């Protein structure tokens, strides 16, 4: 796959899981990677895991807060002066296996603020920065953006459907402006988030995926890197399942 030398790459929620694996893949291909997360200690640990000599920086900001998002993009404009690739990955699950009638409103608000409004706000600034030279945006949605994958996750399912809608809407708007907008829709992937929701024995869910196992972060990272690359130049508005065949069922 092509090199990302001199490309400025933003990854939100980049200090763990899918975001960190994606950052590592871009760094291996010589990208200039800006990782965003809320926790400075986690940020330092993430930077320590990057390949030797990686051109990589951590920036602390909360993607559920408009003021933090505004501050982040002022920083990118001032310090990098451009943005080539953005991976809107920060996300939260919310309450697990809770009926809509019992779903806590404050959790609903938090999930929508992070997974929907955060992505929408980021895309607004990302597109403005990309308008001059073009770029690629990849939103991390979920199979829960394509179907109600389990009962009791109304906020998460609604939020990821919104990410899919935002992806398609922006792709259509930007199609003639050399800005491609795609999303990945992972099935169950081994991360801290999925352990916190489904428990330590994630492999027990392998059989729900036709391939017979759950996914690993590198498998999602590879799809994100490919969608961002010029190998995918004719692809926009795509919501790519990375799910071991889950969406086929
Ligand atoms: N793990 C899965 O099975 C799975 C499946 C489908 C989609 N996803 C999506 O993938 C993305 C990454 O999830 P993951 O599984 O790697 O989880 P993770 O918890 O390992 O990593 C998520 C990262 O996002 C950060 N984050 C969360 N809220 C944030 C905020 N408000 N501001 C800044 N950073 C924030 C977290 O601190 C963490 O570093 C999420 O959008 C998630 O919905 C995950």
What are the DSSP calls for 119-180, one per residue? HHHHHHHHHHHHTTT-EEEEEE--GGGTS--SSSBHHHHHHHHHHHHHHHHHHHHHGGGTEE
Strands (E), the chain: 8-12, 32-37, 55-60, 85-88, 135-140, 179-186, 239-242
* pLDDT tens, residue by residue, 66-90: 999 999 999 999 999 999 999 999 9
DSSP bridge partners of 242: 186
**Ligand 1, CB cutoff 6 Å, lining residues:** 12-13, 15-19, 37-38, 62-64, 89-92, 114, 140, 142, 186, 188-189, 191-194
Distance 229 CA to ligand 1 centre (A): 22
36, 94, 31: which is closest to 69 by C-alpha? 36
- Report the distance separating Cα 149 and Cα 147, nearest Å: 6
Distance 15 CA to ligand 1 centre (A): 9
- Report the distance separating Cα 13 and Cα 225, nearest Å: 16
Q: In this structure, what token pair is assigned to residue 67?
A: 């003021």
pLDDT exceeds 70 at position 189: yes
Helix (H) or strand (E) holding 45: helix 40-48
Catalytic status, residue 156: yes
- Report the distance separating Cα 122 and Cα 66, nearest Å: 9
87, 124, 192, 108: which is closest to 158 by C-alpha? 108
Atom of ligand 1 minimally distant from the CA of 156: 43
Q: In this structure, what token pair is assigned to residue 202?
A: 């994630």
119, 139, 126, 131: which is closest to 73 by C-alpha? 126
pLDDT of res. 129: 98
Q: Once rounded to an integer, what is the mean pLDDT over residues 105-133?
A: 98
pLDDT exceeds 80 at position 124: yes
Residues 6+ apart with CB under 8 A from 30: 3, 4, 5, 55
pLDDT of res. 225: 98
Mean pLDDT of the chain: 97
- Report the distance separating Cα 179 and Cα 134, nearest Å: 5
Distance 176 CA to ligand 1 centre (A): 31
Q: Once rounded to an integer, what is the mean pLDDT over residues 11-31?
A: 98
Domain 8-242 in CATH 3.40.50.720? The answer is yes
CB contact at 8 A, 184 and 223: yes
Q: Once rounded to an integer, what is the mean pLDDT over residues 34-46?
A: 98
- Report the distance separating Cα 53 and Cα 70, nearest Å: 29
pTM above 0.85, yes or no: yes
Please report how many Cα atoms fall inside a 13 Å half-sphere around the Cα of residue 40, on the Cβ side: 0
Q: Please report which confidence band the pLDDT of residue 1 belongs to, taking 50, 70 and 90 as the band edges.
A: low
């Amino acid at each position: 796959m092509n090199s990302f030398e001199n490309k400025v790459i933003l990854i939100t929620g980049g200090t763990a899981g899918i975001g960190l694996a994606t950052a590592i893949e871009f760094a291996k291909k010589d990208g200039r990677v800006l990782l965003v997360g809320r926790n400075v200690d986690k940020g330092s640990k993430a930077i320590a895991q990057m390949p030797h000599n990686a051109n990589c920086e951590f920036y602390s900001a909360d993607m559920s807060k408009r003021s933090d998002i505004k501050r982040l993009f002022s920083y990118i404009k001032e310090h990098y002066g451009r943005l080539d690739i953005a991976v809107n990955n920060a996300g939260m699950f919310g309450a697990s296996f809770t009926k809509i009638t019992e779903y806590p409103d404050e959790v609903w608000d938090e999930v929508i603020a992070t997974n929907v409004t955060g992505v929408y706000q980021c895309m607004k600034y990302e597109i403005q920065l990309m308008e001059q030279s073009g770029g690629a945006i990849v939103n991390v949605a979920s199979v829960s953006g394509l179907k109600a994958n389990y009962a009791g996750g109304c906020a998460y399912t609604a939020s990821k459907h919104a990410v899919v809608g935002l992806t398609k809407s922006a792709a259509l708007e930007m199609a003639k402006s050399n800005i491609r907008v795609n999303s990945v829709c992972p099935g169950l992937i081994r991360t801290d988030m999925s352990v916190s929701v489904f428990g330590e024995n994630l492999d027990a869910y392998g059989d729900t995926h036709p391939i017979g196992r759950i996914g690993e972060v590198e498998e999602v990272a590879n799809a994100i890197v490919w969608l961002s690359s010029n190998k995918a130049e004719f692809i926009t508005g795509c919501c790519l399942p990375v799910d071991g065949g889950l969406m086929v069922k």
